[in-house]
Amino acid sequence: MHAFACEVELTEEEWRRGIVALTETGRITDDRRQEFILWSDVLGLSMLVEGLAHPKPDGATESTVLGPFWAEGSLERAYGEAIFDSAVGEPAWIHGTDGTPIADASLDVWQNDANELYGVQDAEAPEAHLRGRFRTREDGSYAFVGVRPVPYRIPHDGPVGAMLAATSRHPWRPAHLHMIVSAPGYQTLTTHVFDAESPHLDSDAVFAVKPSLLREFVRDGVRWSVQNDIVLARA
Ligand code: BEZ
Ligand code: FE
């Protein structure tokens, strides 16, 4: 038997399996894949730290996990521009204001396509696929054309996936898109827009759903439309 300071006792076999999982975690981690952070996500630790680190005043938009698919250096795009050249998913007009309103706030957005994949995961996709940086207009408004996001599975071919399977958990995340919103004098907000009709909202593999972040996608002619207003907390 081995004992931790917190007095959890492990059998030799449990100890051995833990070491194997950690070794596999190191083996599968590289520049593109971070299995250690994925452990933190699926154990709920990322959301716990996120909640402690970013308490939000009443009325401010809530934050949630960053996830592994953000990439630096997205293209600066104009109001209303599409974040893809060609995509599999159904087009969606994603728009809103930042409540104060704040002119020239920065929005860094990224999302997956209907094949489940983010641009950074998809070897076939152009570098700028389904991501971009926008600025709010004088009245605080922003808009762009994305696609209606679909639920997807987090990377589950490694030790994290083995743990999920062994504990009868699934690897799905509900459909969402990501935003980082920043403006001078305000706290930078890392958040999601969740599709209010998505499956898995009540069993997100990384526990990152907050009811205040659910939004309805509505039909607007040939495309979808979703309104997502944002309120930033003062720094
Ligand atoms: C994501 O939403 O992109 C994500 C977050 C945590 C783990 C895996 C994926
Ligand atoms: Fe995501």
Mean pLDDT of 191-201: 98
Q: Which residue has the tokens 């709010």?
A: 136
Domain membership flag for residue 5: no
Mean pLDDT of 3-18: 79
Domain membership flag for residue 96: yes
Distant-in-sequence contacts of 173-177, Cβ < 8 A, 24+ apart? 173/200, 173/204, 173/205, 173/206, 173/208, 174/198, 174/199, 174/200, 174/201, 174/204, 174/209, 175/148, 175/149, 175/150, 175/151, 176/111, 176/149, 176/213, 177/94, 177/109, 177/110, 177/111, 177/146, 177/149
User: Residue 13's pLDDT band (boundaries 50, 70, 90)?
Assistant: very high
Mean pLDDT of 103-107: 95
Testing ligand 1's pocket by substitution, the residue of 206, 207, 210 carrying the most ligand atoms inside 8 A of its CB is: 206
Mean pLDDT of 187-203: 97
Is residue 123 over pLDDT 80?
Answer: yes
- Does ligand 1 have an atom closer than 6 angstroms to the CB of 172? no
Is residue 4 over pLDDT 70?
Answer: no
Residue 45, domain extent: 12-227
Closest residue (by CA) to atom 5 of ligand 1?
A: 67
User: Residue 36's pLDDT band (boundaries 50, 70, 90)?
Assistant: very high
Residue among 145, 150, 152, 153 nearest 195 (CA): 150
Torsion of CA 10, 12, 16, 18, to 10 degrees: 0
- Residue 9 CA, ligand 2 centroid: distance in Å: 36
Beta bridge partners of 181: 107, 189
Beta bridge partners of 224: 92, 219
Position 134 scores a pLDDT of 98
Mean pLDDT of 8-33: 91
Domain membership flag for residue 4: no
- Does ligand 1 have an atom closer than 6 angstroms to the CB of 47? no
Q: What is the pLDDT of residues 198-230, one digit of tens each?
A: 999 999 999 999 999 999 999 999 999 999 999
Position 207 scores a pLDDT of 97
- Does ligand 1 have an atom closer than 6 angstroms to the CB of 68? yes
Position 101 scores a pLDDT of 86
Count of domains for the chain? 1
Is residue 99 over pLDDT 90?
Answer: no
Question: Where do the DSSP E strands lie in the chain?
Answer: 2-3, 9-10, 91-97, 106-111, 131-135, 141-147, 152-153, 172-173, 176-182, 189-195, 214-215, 218-220, 223-227
Q: Which residue has the tokens 């990377």?
A: 155
Question: Where do the DSSP E strands lie in 76-198?
Answer: 91-97, 106-111, 131-135, 141-147, 152-153, 172-173, 176-182, 189-195
Domain membership flag for residue 194: yes
Domain membership flag for residue 2: no
CA atoms of 41 and 59, how far apart (whole Å): 26
Q: What is the pLDDT of residues 141-166, one digit of tens each?
A: 999 999 999 999 999 999 999 999 99
- Residue 10 CA, ligand 1 centroid: distance in Å: 30
Testing ligand 1's pocket by substitution, the residue of 45, 173, 201 carrying the most ligand atoms inside 8 A of its CB is: 173
The secondary structure element, H or E, covering residue 159 is helix 159-166
Mean pLDDT of 63-75: 94
Residue 141 maps to which CATH number? Answer: 2.60.130.10
Domain membership flag for residue 235: no
Is residue 2 over pLDDT 60?
Answer: no
pTM: 0.92
- Residue 67 CA, ligand 1 centroid: distance in Å: 4
Is residue 86 over pLDDT 60?
Answer: yes
Round to the nearest angstrom and report the end-to-end CA distance of the chain. Answer: 49
- Percentage, residues of the chain above pLDDT 70: 97
Domain membership flag for residue 232: no
Domain membership flag for residue 100: yes
- Does ligand 1 have an atom closer than 6 angstroms to the CB of 69? yes
